[in-house]
Amino acid sequence: MPPGQAVVPTRPPQPLDNVGTRYRVLLEEVDEELERCGRPRGSVTIVGVSKKQPAERVRAAIADGLADVAENYLQEARAKFALLPPTLKHFIGHLQTNKAAAVASLFDVVQSVDRVEAARALSKAAQQLEKELRILVQVNVSSGERFGCPPERAQELAEAVLAQRGLRLDGLMAIGPITHDRSKISRSFELAAKTFACIGGSTLSIGMSGDWPLAVRAGSTMIRIGTALFGGRQTT
């Protein structure tokens, strides 16, 4: 700084400045939960759910080490990813078969394959792109949830994914019930874990901002975190 120049006071911290810190704090909290469960530190991947979040918040978390980002909506994802440095991109929204080609080209992982037709459409697109997509089958483990294949049909769906070229079956994704009843949430996660054990793979994607500790106790290897990482979502 040239002599005599006034020191510009640093502006007070803004909410956005805390996002990176929140990622590190969350990472530490997850590791502490893992230790309490007797599981190794670092055995859960945090995926930042960036839907309805401004790109700068996501960039701040990426600068702090966040490597995986998830979006629910194709159009929003396309616009936002263009503003982000490279990350591993997860699609977690409901998959319409007519959007499969676009999803396959934009994303690396599709967590929401809940029926054979979706797997077929992604396979066709992946082959055209000469790309291999990581696939999680989405299983419905809570009565309030609209999407996801019934647990008793998960194995059949997993086999259908395995049979498709261009797709690599990597595990299971499920959404816990929206309730304050923790034992109900745990039961849903245990059902997800049991179903995951039947189909195999390396990724059990369960747990969100409100319920991730219960998911980690049930064996989650991937938690999908929006508000607890980036703050409240834009409502427009």
Ligand X SMILES: *Cc1c(COP(=O)(O)O)cnc(C)c1O
Instruction: Note the residues at the interface with ligand X (CB under 6 A).
Output: 49, 51, 72, 92, 175, 208-210, 224-228
* Residue nearest ligand X, Cβ-based: 226
Q: Which is nearer to ligand X, 133 or 222 (CB)?
A: 222
Q: Which is nearer to ligand X, 92 or 126 (CB)?
A: 92
Report, in Å, the least distance between residue 205 CB and ligand X.
8
CB 55 within 8 A of CB 232: no
Of 142, 134, 149, the residue nearest 201 (C-alpha): 134
Report, in Å, the least distance between residue 149 CB and ligand X.
15
Pairing of strands 167-173, 45-49: unpaired
148: alpha, beta or left, given left = phi > 0 and alpha = psi -120 to 50?
A: left
Cα 204 from Cα 196, distance rounded (Å): 7
What DSSP letter does each residue of 171-184 carry, written as one string?
A: EEE----SSS-HHH
Report, in Å, the least distance between residue 227 CB and ligand X.
4
Q: Which is nearer to ligand X, 166 or 215 (CB)?
A: 215
Report, in Å, the least distance between residue 85 CB and ligand X.
21
Report, in Å, the least distance between residue 51 CB and ligand X.
6
Of 53, 98, 9, the residue nearest 230 (C-alpha): 53
Q: Which is nearer to ligand X, 64 or 76 (CB)?
A: 76
Q: Which is nearer to ligand X, 219 or 226 (CB)?
A: 226
Cα 174 from Cα 177, distance rounded (Å): 10
